[in-house]
Structure 1
Amino acid sequence: MTTAALRTVASPASAADERRAYYDRIRPLHLTPLWESLHALVPREPQTPCAPALWRYDAIRPLLMESAELITADEAVRRVLVLENPAIPGRSSITQSLYAGLQLIMPGEVAPSHRHVQSALRFIVDGTGAYTTVGGERTTMHPGDFIITPSWAWHDHGNEGIEGVSEPVVWLDGLDIPMVRFFDAGFAENDDAKVQHVARPEGHSLARFGHNMVPLRHDHTSATSPIFNYPYARSREALAQLQRQEAPDAWLGHKLRYINPLTGGSPMPTIATHLQLLPRGFVGKTHRATDGAVYSVVEGRGTAHIAGQRFDFAPRDTFVVPSWAPLELVASDEVVLFSFSDRPVQQAMGVLRESFD
């Protein structure tokens, strides 16, 4: 009788024992059987380890202020409380591919100049008067501004106040740290100087590229937008104009994507950013997408129903929607939300999928 024939009459217990013994023999050769993990590796639909979660700013702000008494911005390099997804603790990740944290800079402080491969965004949450300098150009931070630090660009932050007013400033950091870590491609470097030399006047990049025009002899080689500060006042007015002129989308309300004016694509090669307005009383239909997204509440109060869980949000709160988690947005007031995700990477790979129920 052949081995195959014998196996057909063997008891289930003996067959299981035979397989375990086989696995034990191949393990020292660094081999594993695909058939034992195939369905987990290639699931019928995304099976994210991440969980939906909400961080209430009113609860976090006192802890941020307390951190300023424990360590200076200079000592910390970046004084940040990381928003860790509760389902994947210890990984400094809010989704599988993205990092998020709330950074604090106090009046008179400087976060010293450095650069890194990871692309970063700053979305200003609270306070006015801080600045960031990127590649020799400085910009003042205002709540709602979306600011970019391109990969490998020198950048520092400071808080000198504005018009005689000095106050703590907090912003949401978003970086592709987990993505770069996955590729083992991370590099960083500290600057010789604590603060960069400012080589161009404030607003220079916006003047050159922010009006649907480009200097004729400009040769832009970076994959990142040449605009590094998208002021909230301009973006908010665009939403208001849209609201006056057309009905809201049944799933998204009025949602706009920030773009690189030279390409029409995302401002950052690895991170997409959006701003959306939900009219008062808006009750959105269910939608989901494979790009897990991080949301910062700019204005208004409402509710996010994420994968069957309810999260009531208020201004300055942050919440995360994991990959393929059903999302319904409800607005008690008129609501404005900023969000970011890894959409451009998924689009480049051809794996992005969305569903609008």
Structure 2
Amino acid sequence: MVERPNDQRAQLDALYADMTPRHLLPLWESLHALVLPEPKSPAVPWQWRYDDVRAYLMRAGDAISAEQAERRVLIMENPGLPGWSAITPSLYAGLQLVLPGEVAPCHRHSQSALRFVMEGLGAFTAVDGEKAMMEPFDLVLTPGGQWHDHGNPSPAPMIWLDGLDIPIVRLFDASFAERLGTAAHPETVPAGDTLVRYGHNLRPMRGSTADRRPGARPMFHYRHATWRPALDAMATTAEIDPHLGHALEFLNPTDGGPVLPTLSAHVRLLPAGFQTRPRRSTDGSVFVVVAGTGEALVGEETITLEERDVVVVPSWMTLTLRARSELVLFAYSDKASQLALNFYGEQNL
């Protein structure tokens, strides 16, 4: 005998009520929301105007020291993710300020981080005791587990964008953190030593005493003075990609893969007047305007782009870029994680 719908509903409701105290749930009631036909991020497109955030950051500089805060950072929290301290479900972003004479104390943690310099000249990030002297639009990495501190001996404020995989580490409940106990790591080699040894498509012979950096990821400083001429040179000779513009990825020189196990980073150049064709991908991305002006069409929203603005493009939202003047962008995303886990997808429209 086939049960009538009302009888079935009553039977199921009784089953659910009996299961609930035992922390059991019926998959058939939620399968449609757990296994989606395509990505649907809770994050929303958003823009942070650099001048606005900078004003709040300087007020924070008057109110709390870098030592007291450990890291004086304003988190860029996506409006669609209240309480997450995240810019996408898998990415963290914030602007950090180190004032003249300050040191942000030395620590290390499971999370991997990248720093993209927004303003200032002459401050440093030290990784395992080696200083990377930072200039605007340099990319500096602090891989997970490596000691790092920041200092600013220059006469001007230093501000950079922090990008971390905090939500990814949180997902796996794998966070460890440790303070060194002194403000700065003892200097182990001269500033820029890694660039000399590993930054020219060459490396010290494996096993030699000169091969001092971790074998899997030796490089941690990618200078604007190097990547921008490379991007400009490619733009003069290469056919432009209709969906990306001219684009270069930052690579780990040991294997040609992403710069960090969880995070990928790249730069783009769009000539004045150029408009990309729509494209979407599963990696939520954070963009910084390095130079020029234009617009980003993210889904149905149009965002005006000006220098040093930060824009988030959530997963699987269509992105079209328009360049009013020559437009240069930096971006980082969770593409490295998705590639490693065989999740990544993209679509040119």
Matched, 1:120 2:95: no
Q: 2 CA distance for matches of 1:65 and 1:129?
A: 18
1:225 Cα deviation from its structure 2 partner: 2.5
Q: 1 CA distance for matches of 2:300 and 2:22?
A: 44
- The question of whether the paired residues in 1 share the 8 Å contact of 2:73 and 2:95 is answered with yes
- The question of whether the paired residues in 1 share the 8 Å contact of 2:99 and 2:157 is answered with yes
Question: Of residues 46, 57, 60 in structure 2, which corresponds to 1:64?
Answer: 57
- The question of whether the paired residues in 2 share the 8 Å contact of 1:224 and 1:267 is answered with no
Range that drifts further, 218-227 or 66-75: 218-227
Deviation digits for residues 315-339 of structure 1 (CA, Å, limit 9, x no counterpart)? 1110111111111011111111111
Question: Of residues 285, 295, 298 in structure 1, which corresponds to 2:287?
Answer: 295
Instruction: Report the AA paired with residue 201 of structure 2.
Output: N
Question: Of residues 162, 172, 184 in structure 2, which corresponds to 1:183?
Answer: 172
Q: 1 CA distance for matches of 2:124 and 2:212?
A: 25
Question: Of residues 24, 33, 41 in structure 2, which corresponds to 1:40?
Answer: 33
Instruction: Report the AA paired with residue 150 of structure 2.
Output: H
Taking only aligned residues, the RMSD between alpha carbons, in angstroms, comes to 1.3
Which entry has the higher C-alpha Rg, 1 or 2? Answer: 1
Q: 2 CA distance for matches of 1:196 and 1:345?
A: 30
Q: 1 CA distance for matches of 2:22 and 2:218?
A: 51
Question: Of residues 122, 125, 131 in structure 1, which corresponds to 2:124?
Answer: 131
Deviation digits for residues 298-318 of structure 1 (CA, Å, limit 9, x no counterpart)? 111111111111111111110
Matched, 1:330 2:309: no
Question: Of residues 325, 341, 347 in structure 2, which corresponds to 1:349?
Answer: 341
1:126 Cα deviation from its structure 2 partner: 1.2
1:247 Cα deviation from its structure 2 partner: 2.6
Inter-CA distance 220–14: structure 2 relative to 1 (3 Å threshold):
farther
Q: 2 CA distance for matches of 1:277 and 1:160?
A: 33
Instruction: Could you tell me which runs of 5 or more consecutive residues in structure 1 were left unpaired when the two chains were aligned.
Output: none
Instruction: Could you tell me which runs of 5 or more consecutive residues in structure 2 were left unpaired when the two chains were aligned.
Output: none
Matched, 1:198 2:187: yes
Partner residue, 1:143: 136
Instruction: Report the AA paired with residue 183 of structure 1.
Output: F
1:18 Cα deviation from its structure 2 partner: 2.9
- The question of whether the paired residues in 2 share the 8 Å contact of 1:300 and 1:332 is answered with yes
Instruction: Report the AA paired with residue 122 of structure 2.
Output: G
Question: Of residues 88, 92, 95 in structure 1, which corresponds to 2:88?
Answer: 95
Aligned sequence identity (%)? 47
1:223 Cα deviation from its structure 2 partner: 7.2
SS in 1 for 2:274: coil
TM-score norm. by structure 1 comes to: 0.94
- The question of whether the paired residues in 2 share the 8 Å contact of 1:223 and 1:268 is answered with no
* Paired residue total: 346
Partner residue, 2:233: 241
1:148 Cα deviation from its structure 2 partner: 0.3
Range that drifts further, 230-239 or 345-354: 345-354
- The question of whether the paired residues in 2 share the 8 Å contact of 1:150 and 1:224 is answered with no
Q: 1 CA distance for matches of 2:30 and 2:224?
A: 47
1:15 Cα deviation from its structure 2 partner: 3.3
1:224 Cα deviation from its structure 2 partner: 5.2
Q: 2 CA distance for matches of 1:95 and 1:271?
A: 13
Matched, 1:170 2:163: no
SS in 2 for 1:291: coil
Matched, 1:21 2:10: no
Inter-CA distance 74–316: structure 2 relative to 1 (3 Å threshold):
same
Partner residue, 1:255: 247
Range that drifts further, 67-76 or 21-30: 21-30
- The question of whether the paired residues in 1 share the 8 Å contact of 2:194 and 2:213 is answered with no
- The question of whether the paired residues in 2 share the 8 Å contact of 1:224 and 1:268 is answered with no
Instruction: Report the AA paired with residue 352 of structure 1.
Output: Y
